[in-house]
Amino acid sequence: MKIKTFLIGGFCCLSLLTMKAQQVWTPDNGDGTFTNPLMWGDWPDPDVIRVGDDFYFVSTSMHYVPGSPVAKSKDLVNWEIVGYAVDRYDEDPRYDMKGGELYLNGSWANSIRHNKGKFYVAFCTPYGWGTETGHFSVCEAEKPEGPWMRTIFPEYLYDPGLFFDDDGKVYVVHGQHKLYVTELNEDVKSVKSKPIEIWNKGVDDARGSGKRAGMEGSHVYKINGMYYITCPAGGTEGWQVCLRSKNIYGPYESKVIIQDDTSYPVNGLHQGGMVQLKNGDWWFIIMQDRGPIGRVPYLLPVKWVDGWPVLGVEGKDAITYPKPTVGKNHKMKVPATTDEFDGKRLGLQWQWNHNPDNEKWSLRERPGYMRLKASKAIDLKNARNTLTQRVQGPNSTGTVELDLSGLKDGNIAGFGVFESPYAYVAVQQEGGKRKVVMCNDGKIIETPIENLTQDKIWIRARVTDKGFTARFYYSLDGAFFSPVGNVLNMGLGLPWTANRFALFNFSTTEEGVDGIADFNWFRFYGK
């Protein structure tokens, strides 16, 4: 292992154990209890299954590549990323940022199931935001690490809940407000029947406010001969509903199984899936919207009352619970963040903003560094090969060390927080001269150094959920950091997609194409 420094605040500390920089939020209290959320970052639209002694979790990832992250746990509390169901999107050149871009597309409302020795992940892809057209995909693999094979259906099955019945039939429950059942062929590669409508009415707010809302995000179960469909209603401030029937096609009756926003007012717990332990207990992973930091997953116990799954404690969230009973204690684990770029493969914590140009990045050309070669772009939003990972709450800090010796005129290379708006600190080279700039929402706010004469710079971004702000810093020695520019008020201009730490190198000129930025490491510090 390389000896490297990790940096916290204005102090420089030497350590062989560079992973100490990570300190990510963990729900495990170490005393047999856990405190929600499971992961204090953007893991939206969760679904969960158990295969033997292992639990698997899938999440929506929109346009980010690779897509549809799959995580694994032994106890439903401690999770690590093990793979992605989608390597890249090849159905439209705009995923390569050719002829435009496809932010907000990709994978929506993922569903995960296991049947006859295979894992399946299903999701939908809309053709543009707010449209009623798109397509549906099913990915299959023999193990969650992959390789995965994807089948793209011409049909658009919105927010699909994939379900394998015990008679061998395969169904998808899908739709928004109106819910439908569509049968697939047994090989799960094509549609067998036309959609049949099973629900076309809203569900009332359980608090008696008179608010009524339609449903989406379906997940399907068959328990003791009864079909159950769990769905969110009411959007960000909404609640979770369960439908049940003795027949997959209905008729269905409904019940609100949780309505609670006390842990993060006014945003309600809604959308997710449930899983049964070996001992017969049931648990539910459900999400809560926490604004620009993302939609975070919660773990709630399920108690069956009169044949209905009721979440939490009598339909309310207690926030802290005894851990699920799985037979033994397991080590604390969290999804990876910090990266020394020492490996031959990119860490699973990283996703590109669109399909990457694999000729323009490397971990091998300069071992121990993430090398990004510039492509031409007018700004960061239109730049390909922007490398991202989740910001996290309640506070998180990302720091990079950047070698600039390979830059060309026209290059803008740096580190920041990406969404819309975005902000960053970067080194911009023009006429053989480098300057340090802070950019916020496409505008240069400050240029603290007009002529940078050294080849290294350290850049830092700090994020908090208090007001959803990010602040930026730079250092010329890796020890003392100076604040720069103004505050980024993090937003959601790309709806339903949280803010992310972002490493980048793009060029505003043809002359700068293939200019090199070498990132020595990324280090995460949070709590």
Q: Do 3 and 14 touch, CB atoms closer than 8 A?
A: yes
For the purposes of burial, counting CB atoms within 10 Å of the CB of 96, is it exposed (0-12), middle (13-18) or buried (19 or more)? middle
Q: How many whole angstroms from its chain centre is CA 363?
A: 23
Closest CA to 386 of 6, 24, 97: 97
Contacts of 315 (CB under 8 A, 6+ apart): 206, 256, 257, 258, 259, 260
Report the Cα–Cα distance between both ends of the chain, in Å, rounded: 25
Residues β-bridged to residue 34: 28, 321
Active-site annotation holds for 379: no
Give residue 361's identity as a one-letter amino acid code.
Answer: W
* Residue tagged 């090969």 (tokens): 385
**Angle of CA points 241, 290, 460, to nearest 5°:** 155
Q: Report the C-alpha dihedral over residues 505, 506, 510, 516, rounded to 10 degrees.
A: 10
Positions of E strands within 306-379: 308-311, 320-322, 351-352, 361-362, 370-373, 375-376
Q: Give the sheet arrangement for strand 161-164, strand by strand.
A: 161-164, 170-174, 179-184, 196-199
Give residue 23's identity as a one-letter amino acid code.
Answer: Q
Q: Do 153 and 203 touch, CB atoms closer than 8 A?
A: no
Q: Residues 155, 159, 204, 216: which is the catalytic one? A: 216
Give residue 64's identity as a one-letter amino acid code.
Answer: Y
Half-sphere exposure of 121 (CA within 13 A, CB side): 34
* Residue tagged 């994020």 (tokens): 463
Q: Is 497 helix (H, G, I), strand (E, B) or coil?
A: coil
Angstrom distances, CA of residue 233 to CA of 158, 312, 316: 15, 18, 16
User: How big is the chain, counted in residues?
Assistant: 527
Active-site annotation holds for 186: no
Q: How many whole angstroms from its chain centre is CA 271?
A: 15
How large is the C-alpha radius of gyration of the chain? 23
Q: Do 101 and 134 touch, CB atoms closer than 8 A?
A: no
| Separation CA 279–CA 508 (nearest Å) | 60
Q: Residues 45, 140, 183, 289: which is the catalytic one? A: 45
Q: Token pair for residue 240?
A: 């979770």
Which residues are annotated as catalytic?
45, 216
